Chain A
Amino acid sequence: MLWTDLRILVTDTGRLWWRLLPTLLAIWVLGWLGRRLFSTLAVLAGDLSPWLTMIIFPLGILSELVAIVLILQACGRELGIRSLIPSSELVHDDRDAGVARLLAITLLPFIGIYAAFGYINDAAYSLYVQQLTRYGVISDAPTVLGLLNGLATQHTWRLLMIVVTLYVARRLLDLAHEQTGWRPLGVIVALLETFFILLVVMGGVRVWQLGKIWILDRAFVRWIETALNPLEQFFALLRLNLPDLVVRLYDFVVDEVWPVLADTLVQPLAWLAVAAIIYGSNVMSLADLNRTVRDRLPGTVSERSARRAARRTARRAGRQERPPGRGLRRVGTEAKEAFFGDVDDKYLPTFHALRLVIRSGPAFLGSFVLVYAAVRTLGNYLQTSLRLVTGGHDLDFWLVYDPLIELIRTLPVELLRLCLLAVAFRRCLELFGQRYTAGPVQTLPPVSGGGEQFARADPSDRPTAAMG
């Protein structure tokens, strides 16, 4: 089974990459151009105002994200991934209506994952380096970092108000987007979210540090320390330096274990979750997929699932028809809805996607992680080779040529990685479908759409239902 998954992931990824290469190249280069263009404009705009820089800069990040979304969509179309998702789940989803709609739906949760892996931090750092080079270390010119640092240290409440206002504005726009379905609103929401994260990354960190110092300076911290003294004395009797042990354990987990785990296991799964978000939030829920697949099978529509569906519909209707509360209660309810709705929109799809992947079985998980690491290893060696070829240079050289070298470095590997995500997600759906529809009478259907070349009848695969 492991070998089968490995073979499928490697061969199908290679074939998909080769077949779509011109299209994927064009999209990636356009995304790269967008990133460079907006990044340069943002730095130039810094001469007028650092706020203008902060408004333009997220457009560059979004250009890159849009390219990734479009590449994954192209791969998904080629593999016929959408046809593997039961059609009943597609009723309320109009992502196929156009690129703008797809972006409006997918960018927000995508940014959540993108930020979690520090990509926006990297972008913020590159902005800092560019402004540092443009204005010098000792300069009166206001940089983004200088502006936010000043806000964080001298006008902390003002910065916090800006952060809260941005969050509320983004949430309101998101709700307006859901109500009206007006596509540009979805993209504006994503833009606002990127701006928000950038602000938090570059300014919020300072507030966080100040907050920590403030808390450590409070009297109650001393009280806690005093209260913990007997415990300390007790452990001293045991000749066990517990605080030291805890610190060492924490350092070991944070510095040694977590980075390796995050790099090897969490990152590929999170990226697969990104693919899941792009291919359709309707397959995010494991229970939903299970239910839908079973509902699609002839003679398997159980009374239980019908009852469950009715309960679900009633719940939704109840939520919509619930009379509004009064005063503070209503505000509280609305705030709760807004906050949890935001978590739903941004993080729940990722969580469910991870569940979906993990439930596809250990063999798939292992083989996917291995192939993903192989692609990244290829990228690492390509980076080392490029360093050997270019050699060491000063900052002036890198400011001019680094974007180009970055393009050369990422172009082959990133495309391969995105193709792998599409292939892995399709395999994930197949395995998941097989798990819940295994039976002697069903037959394995060919993968539809443009994916005929990739269809296979693997003897090791269990038969599955005809879907879509």
Chain B
Amino acid sequence: MSPVSRTAGFRRSVLLSWLAALACIVVAAVALQVSEPPSDRTQNVTGVRNEPVSYGDGSVTVGSVRVGQGLDHFGGVSRTAGMFLTVDVTLSAEGNRVLSLGQFQLLSGDRVYDDYSVAGLRVQPGFAERTTVAFEVDPQRIDDLVLQVGRGEVVSGYHQQLRVHLGITPENADAWRRASVGQVLDDGSNTTWALP
């Protein structure tokens, strides 16, 4: 073999080595990205409306959904150019520890609505408490609204977050929009009772 062809062969092998190394690095990057645990530190538990969903030592029940264009709260009526939507949420502390819910959000695809009235629940063991959470939403974007509730203190650890579909679908969205016209909703106050 001539020195020229030997040099060419050497160069080819070096190039192949670098290509192989690059392939390894790409595979490694993909593997790490794919296997990376989600960074949101939340366990999303899906539930159904009007049925209790296990939450910590107790349970959460998402109840009635109402829509309107006004909201009666803090002694006055607020009006919106969009739509108000209220949801009843009940937290039951069936175990031996205090339970609390501090974060309520409404998801519409990538859009996230925060609660209009700052809501919160804190229940002593053996008790249940119900609150009405209000949201101001875009009437054109109410298909497949999902209520997301959690304790809202993700500073460390891995936390439970519940997601419940409110039952508004593309098929019945128009009916919900029509139902909201002229309605004034009651923000309501929290109600507490002892568990049997």
Contact = CB atoms under 8 A, between A and B. Distances in A.
A459 interface: no
Interface in A390-418: 390-399, 402
Given A2-B17, A380-B37, A384-B37, A263 B29 contact: yes
B158 interface: yes
A372 B24 CA distance: 11
A402 B157 contact: yes
Interface stretch (A74-82, A189-197, A198-206, A358-366): A358-366
B157 A397 contact: yes
Interface size class of B (residues with CB under 8 A): 20 to 34
A394 B35 contact: no
A312 to B, nearest CB: 33
Given A362-B20, A380-B36, A384-B37, A390 B29 contact: no
A7 to B, nearest CB: 14
Given A264-B28, A377-B35, A398-B157, A363 B45 contact: no
B39 to A, nearest CB: 12
Contacts of A365: 21
A129 B154 CA distance: 11
Given A392-B43, A393-B56, A394-B151, A366 B25 contact: yes
B27 interface: yes
Interface in B3-44: 14, 17-18, 20-25, 27-29, 31-33, 35-37, 42-43
A377 B25 contact: no
Contact of A362 (B21, B32, B35, B43): B21
A226 interface: no
Given A362-B17, A392-B159, A392-B160, A264 B43 contact: no
Nearest to B100: A394
B153 interface: yes
A392 B159 CA distance: 4
Interface in A346-401: 361-363, 365-367, 369-370, 372-374, 376-377, 380-381, 383-384, 387, 390-399
A381 B34 CA distance: 10
Contact of B45 (A1, A376, A392): A392
B159 A367 contact: no
B158 A381 contact: no
B90 interface: no
Given A391-B43, A394-B56, A383 B20 contact: no
A83 B88 CA distance: 72
B31 A394 contact: no
B92 interface: no
Interface in B117-162: 151, 153, 155-161
A266 to B, nearest CB: 11
A383 B159 contact: no
A129 B29 CA distance: 31
A224 B29 CA distance: 41
A387 B158 contact: yes
Nearest to B160: A392
A398 B156 contact: yes
Given A260-B29, A361-B17, A392 B42 contact: yes
A260 B155 CA distance: 25
17 contacts: A2-B17, A264-B28, A264-B29, A361-B17, A366-B23, A367-B24, A369-B25, A373-B28, A381-B35, A383-B37, A384-B35, A391-B158, A392-B158, A393-B157, A393-B158, A394-B56, A395-B157
The 8 closest A-B CB pairs, nearest first, are A398-B157, A392-B160, A366-B21, A373-B28, A366-B24, A392-B43, A362-B21, A380-B35
Interface of B: 14, 17-18, 20-25, 27-29, 31-33, 35-37, 42-43, 45, 56, 97, 151, 153, 155-161
Given A1-B17, A402-B156, 10 more contacts: A2-B20, A126-B156, A363-B21, A373-B28, A373-B31, A377-B31, A380-B36, A392-B42, A392-B45, A395-B156
Interface of A: 1-2, 126, 129, 132, 260, 263-265, 361-363, 365-367, 369-370, 372-374, 376-377, 380-381, 383-384, 387, 390-399, 402
